[in-house]
Amino acid sequence: MSLECVNPADLPVPSTYTQVVVATGTRLVFVSGQEPEDVHGTLVGRGDLSAQAHQVFANLGRALTAAGARPDQVTKLTIYVVAHRREYLPLIEEARVSLFGDHKPADALIGIERLSNPDYLIEVEAIAVN
């Protein structure tokens, strides 16, 4: 599996993601939206976006491992944030880097009104190629 991360010269170069990711591999891995719950289904960090973001990305890492994929094989993330505000970006990025390090898959961050549980502040889904 190989990934080619491309930031075209005629588009801005984002600091936290890549504009285009070209993946060559043999398997697609689709990870459902990961929620801020621990292994027992207990909400982590009620009212605390940072704690919830760290839990969500940790859960995403565990889901990838279970599928035989690695974080550096993720090609696309979709991040859903309740009542998103620009000042949330550093909190989300810190949690994201804890899983991905320097790897910057393509992504979309979408501000939404609510998630399936009113106490959830963030949910993240992913696509990987391995």
Domain boundaries, the chain: 2-6+26-129
- Residue 65 φ then ψ, to 5°: -60, -45
CATH superfamily of 2-6+26-129: RutC-like (3.30.1330.40)
pLDDT above 90: residue 3: no
Helix (H, G, I), strand (E, B) or coil at 71: helix
Do 93 and 16 contact (CB within 8 A), yes or no? Answer: yes
- pLDDT for 109: 97
- pLDDT for 24: 87
Token readout for 60 is 């995403």
**pLDDT band for position 96 (cuts 50, 70, 90):** very high
pLDDT above 80: residue 78: yes
Tokens 């990025």: give the residue: 93
pLDDT above 80: residue 73: yes
Among 8-12, 40-44, 96-100, 106-110, which stretch is predicted with the lowest mean pLDDT?
8-12
The CA–CA distances, whole Å, from 103 to 3, 4, 19, 96 equal: 10, 11, 13, 10
Do 56 and 45 contact (CB within 8 A), yes or no? Answer: no
Do 18 and 1 contact (CB within 8 A), yes or no? Answer: no
